[in-house]
């Protein structure tokens, strides 16, 4: 049910699939036209970051907005008082995130392969990055949705998404941001982007980035547990 509700929302589909595809296709075309000198081919350089962007859009922005409006309409309050245990509700939301992310990986991976993507992945590194990235962003999304009104959650979630996409080193490597990149690698967006690039470009596990994601996941979980209001 959580998955069906998520997929019925046009805005969530826009964030989950359409925007990452546009970023990937448009980015590859722009780099080819401008002639930027990258250490890897444009499609190889951008695909890991776009996959990280897809995880962020679903686990943070989509989850925060959906949960915020469920609180506003009393859905979560009623489910919390039903025979459905609260951990069951949370597991349902996590399961929906996983299913949507799998669909994103298939769609974006297919588009990237059609553009000539030639991955040499570390499967362990990729899986760890996706799992920890999802945990970090989902906990932060639930934290935002649990303390703010639905309208404020909508505005803040979209604003954070735009800021992290533009300056959070999620799509473009942190090294391209100059001094700002030294800060961006400690953000969940930068850590996820760097971990995905290490796994899919260099076939290695970026332990530092994974630790950063784990710290954000723990911090977000603690904040959510202490502040989340069911109504």
> What is the per-residue pLDDT across 10-23, written as a single tens digit (0 to 9) for each?
666 777 788 889 99
Tokens for 201?
Answer: 């470009």
Q: Which residues contact 38 (CB under 8 A, 6 or more apart)?
A: 31, 45
Tokens for 69?
Answer: 């409006």
pLDDT of residue 129: 95
Question: Looking at per-residue confidence, does 152 or 177 come out higher?
Answer: 152
pLDDT of residue 156: 93
Four-CA torsion 88, 136, 46, 9, nearest 10 degrees: 40
Which pTM value belongs to this model? 0.89
Q: Is the pLDDT of residue 124 over 70?
A: yes
Question: Looking at per-residue confidence, does 208 or 100 come out higher?
Answer: 208
Q: Largest alpha-carbon pair distance within the chain?
A: 59
Task: Supply φ then ψ for residue 41, to 5 degrees.
Answer: -60, 150
Q: Is the pLDDT of residue 229 over 80?
A: no
Q: Is the pLDDT of residue 119 over 90?
A: no
Tell me how far CA of residue 159 lies from CA of 57, 152, 155, 163, 189, in angstroms: 12, 10, 6, 6, 14
Coil, strand, or helix at residue 120?
Answer: coil
Percentage of residues in the chain having pLDDT higher than 70: 93
């Amino acid at each position: 049910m959580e998955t069906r509700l998520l997929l019925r929302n046009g805005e969530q589909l826009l964030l989950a699939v359409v925007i990452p595809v546009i970023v990937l296709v448009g980015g590859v075309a722009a780099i080819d036209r401008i002639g930027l000198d990258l250490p890897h081919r444009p499609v190889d350089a951008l695909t890991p970051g776009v996959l990280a962007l897809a995880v962020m859009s679903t686990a943070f922005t989509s989850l925060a907005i959906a949960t915020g409006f469920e609180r506003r309409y009393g859905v979560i309050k009623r489910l919390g008082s039903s025979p459905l245990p609260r951990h069951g509700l949370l597991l349902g939301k996590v399961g929906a995130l996983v299913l949507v992310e799998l669909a994103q990986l298939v769609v974006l991976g297919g588009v990237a392969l059609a553009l000539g993507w030639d991955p040499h992945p570390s499967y362990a590194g990729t899986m760890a990055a996706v799992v920890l990235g999802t945990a970090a962003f989902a906990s932060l999304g639930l934290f935002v949705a649990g303390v703010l009104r639905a309208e404020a959650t909508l505005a803040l979630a979209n604003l954070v998404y735009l800021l992290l996409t533009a300056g959070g080193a999620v799509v473009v490597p942190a090294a391209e941001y100059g001094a700002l990149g030294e800060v961006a690698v400690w953000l969940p967006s930068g850590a996820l982007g760097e971990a995905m690039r290490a796994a899919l470009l260099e076939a290695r596990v970026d332990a530092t980035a994974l630790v950063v994601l784990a710290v954000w996941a723990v911090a977000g979980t603690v904040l959510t547990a202490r502040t989340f209001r069911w109504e």
